[in-house]
């Protein structure tokens, strides 16, 4: 148990970041894992506890032991059976995911595979079987409640005026990411339409009659946002290795991809559609990124295609 109110608040923030993953979806998973790691290193007591366990921990050996293969050739990842190994094990995996050494999408599909192939279910299995035990061990070690951490009335940390100004600037930047430059997007959409006019050619009557579109059910929309978010995360993972791209192009791609993720979380279909067009245009010089933008355009097209009876 911690004796410092400041440390208690930091550990509460760490538990809250764990709950964001446990109660959340795959959308923005990389961002949430990054936030968890930052909150972990912010607490000296948690960091010291983890450092003690890491000193004699062999991750490669434990990772190999944790992989169990069933008769159906399905590989499952089972956590070590002692808390002193669970903490460093989960930490090492999360660090590797955050560094993109481990691909999160592939990791979840391989070790938490759903019988139905539902990616949302696979992510929930990852969160409950992997993140939840990690959270509970920390909460128990420091006598911090496991649930409803975000609504706890913890005394806020004192911040200087300079820190408050920086936090305000960061908040404003996040808000700007949710806003779209309409003129810029209109130009991109026009160019996109000119390039692919033949591909999307339809009869005027079909274009004008909105009733020809299939009903967009909540399930179809949910699947759409999950697939778009998955492709965006893949782009962000590949981007650091695109050596031929100029830095300003990389920045633009990263900005648009993160904005798409934000709009996926908000389930804003209009903004997401427009941003896919923008991303496809900006990333046209990268063959690798274009693979993902092409897939995103296909997912978008499939959303509006009618289903055969």
Q: Using an 8 Å Cβ cutoff, are 51 and 91 in contact?
A: no
List the end-to-end C-alpha distance of the chain, in Å, as a whole number.
61
User: pLDDT value at position 97?
Assistant: 93
pLDDT in tens, 27-54: 788 889 998 999 898 899 999 999 999 9
Residues in CB range of 146: below 8 A, 6 or more apart: 15, 135, 136, 139
Average pLDDT over residues 187-207: 49
Provide the whole-model pTM.
0.52
pLDDT digits (tens, 9 = 90+) for 212-226: 445 678 888 888 888
Residue 1's pLDDT band (cuts 50, 70, 90) = low
Residue 105 to residue 235: CA distance in whole angstroms? 12
The whole-chain average pLDDT of the chain stands at: 78
| Position 286 confidence tier, pLDDT thresholds 50, 70, 90 | confident
- What are 92-135's pLDDT values in tens digits? 999 999 988 999 989 998 899 888 878 888 999 999 999 999 99
What does the pLDDT read at residue 162? 62
């Amino acid at each position: 148990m911690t004796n410092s109110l400041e440390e208690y608040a930091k550990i509460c923030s760490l538990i809250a970041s764990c709950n964001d993953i446990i109660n959340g979806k795959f959308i923005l998973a990389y961002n949430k894992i990054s936030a968890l790691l930052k909150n972990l290193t912010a607490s000296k007591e948690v960091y010291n506890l983890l450092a003690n366990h890491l000193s004699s921990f062999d991750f490669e050996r434990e990772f190999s032991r944790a992989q169990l293969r069933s008769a159906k050739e399905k590989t499952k990842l089972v956590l070590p059976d002692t808390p002193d190994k669970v903490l460093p094990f989960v930490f090492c995996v999360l660090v590797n995911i955050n560094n993109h050494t481990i691909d999160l999408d592939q990791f979840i599909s391989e070790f938490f595979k759903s019988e139905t192939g539902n990616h949302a279910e696979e992510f929930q299995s990852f969160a409950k079987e992997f993140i939840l035990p990690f959270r509970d061990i920390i909460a128990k070690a420091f006598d911090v409640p496991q649930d409803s951490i975000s609504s706890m009335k913890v005394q806020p940390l004192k911040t200087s005026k300079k820190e408050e100004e920086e936090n305000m600037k960061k908040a404003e930047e996040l808000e700007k990411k949710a806003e779209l430059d309409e003129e810029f997007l209109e130009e991109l959409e026009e160019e996109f339409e000119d390039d692919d006019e033949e591909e999307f050619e339809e009869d005027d009557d079909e274009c004008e009659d909105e009733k020809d579109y299939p009903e967009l059910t909540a399930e179809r929309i949910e699947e759409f946002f999950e697939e778009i978010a998955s492709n965006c995360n893949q782009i962000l993972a590949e981007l650091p290795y695109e050596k031929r791209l100029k830095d300003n192009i990389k920045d633009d791609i990263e900005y648009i991809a993160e904005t798409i993720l934000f709009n996926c979380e908000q389930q804003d279909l209009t903004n997401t559609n427009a941003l896919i067009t923008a991303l496809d245009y900006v990333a046209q010089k990268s063959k690798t990124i274009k693979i993902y933008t092409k897939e995103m355009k296909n997912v978008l097209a499939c959303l509006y295609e009618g289903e055969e009876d």
